[in-house]
Amino acid sequence: MNNKYKELVSPYTFKNGVELKNRIIMAPMTNFSSDEEGNVTDAEVTYYARRSKDVSMVITACTYVTPDGKGFPGEFGGDSDEMIPSLERLAKGIKDQGAKAVLQIFHGGVQCPPDLVPDGDVVSASDVMGENGEKKARGLSEAEIENIIEAFGETTRRAIEAGYDGVEIHGANGYLIHQFFSPMTNQRQDRFGGSLENRMTFPLAIVDKVKSVVAEHADPSFLVGYRFSPEEPEDNGFTMGDTLTLVDALADKDLDYLHVSLFDFFSKPRKGVEDLEKTRMDYLLETIGDRAPLIGVGSIYSADDAHKAFASGVPLLALGRELIIDPDWLKKIKEGKEDEIVTEIDKGKQEELVVPDPLWNAIVNTPGWFPGV
């Protein structure tokens, strides 16, 4: 292989002693391909297995922790013990290929389609009103919030029993944890809302619950990560500065890793920090320091893109769309064939790329999501 890219395949050891065989991780991406009961399908297992041989770790699509947290059609569930065999199939499909398997756990909040949740009862941090004055979601009671925190813990226990190597708490991309952190969707006046510190109560309580379940049910090798968004574009959304406050608190929680959600790795902040010319990654790496590794992500297509990203100081990189476009991305780098990496989706190669029909249809019918569409 080209010596220029040797850092991509060098091993990485987490503080708990778990070693990754290289620095490349499969990012979590919804694939819409489970059955109506929330069970993992054969198509999903083969899709993940096809991409699990070379990368060091696979973070699954998000799985809902309560029935009212289902955010997508074809999403697999982790909300009851009945789902453990389904979860186990996916963990085995990934691990049999040599990658660590991490289950991403979440609640969709106001993003949940009413027809996917019991009685159409969509919930969020506060009441959320639509443009025409209709109520899109109702605010959760404190008792319901406590139940959801418990549910994150129970789904973590199921992940442990199903053989996963870790869980990732999904606090990004506008879902329920994000909704509690955002002043746009959190208008609460109790301990879960108001000040920035209070808006961090729910995310941090979930971290504490998950970590306590891991301490009780798993051995020290079980990983716990947290994914977050850097800021919101709206004027009344949370800023990059707000996120740095959250990230500082998360970094003190002895998490195994933090994972930023970015469309562009090299993007710059909109507001909330002094220097808008520094990248978001620079700010995050400075804030976190050596307390936890940060996984970077966002439009890394070529080997040179990855090389440039590592130059920022980030220790781990997640690839999402690129591993759908070319499942052999890392293999080609290892073999010195980085010039053969495909960076645009070939719409004639669904079968060869082992992509389930629902995900494939979403890709080819969403212009701008994938290069080549």
Q: In this structure, are residues 97 and 49 in contact, taking their beta carbons and an 8 Å threshold?
A: yes
175 is catalytic: yes
Q: How many CB atoms lie within 10 A of CB 342?
A: 18
How many whole angstroms separate alpha carbon 49 and alpha carbon 139? 39
- Candidates 47, 48, 64, 175; catalytic one: 175
Q: How many CB atoms lie within 10 A of CB 115?
A: 8
CB-side exposure of 4: number of CA atoms within 13 Å? 12
Residue with tokens 């955002």: 182
**Residue 17 falls in which region: left (phi positive, over 0), alpha (psi -120 to 50) or beta:** left
Written as six digits, the tokens of 119 are 């009685």
The CA–CA distances, whole Å, from 369 to 63, 125, 299 equal 22, 29, 11
The DSSP code for 39 is P
Q: In this structure, are residues 236 and 207 in contact, taking their beta carbons and an 8 Å threshold?
A: no
CB-side exposure of 364: number of CA atoms within 13 Å? 11
Residues known to be catalytic = 175
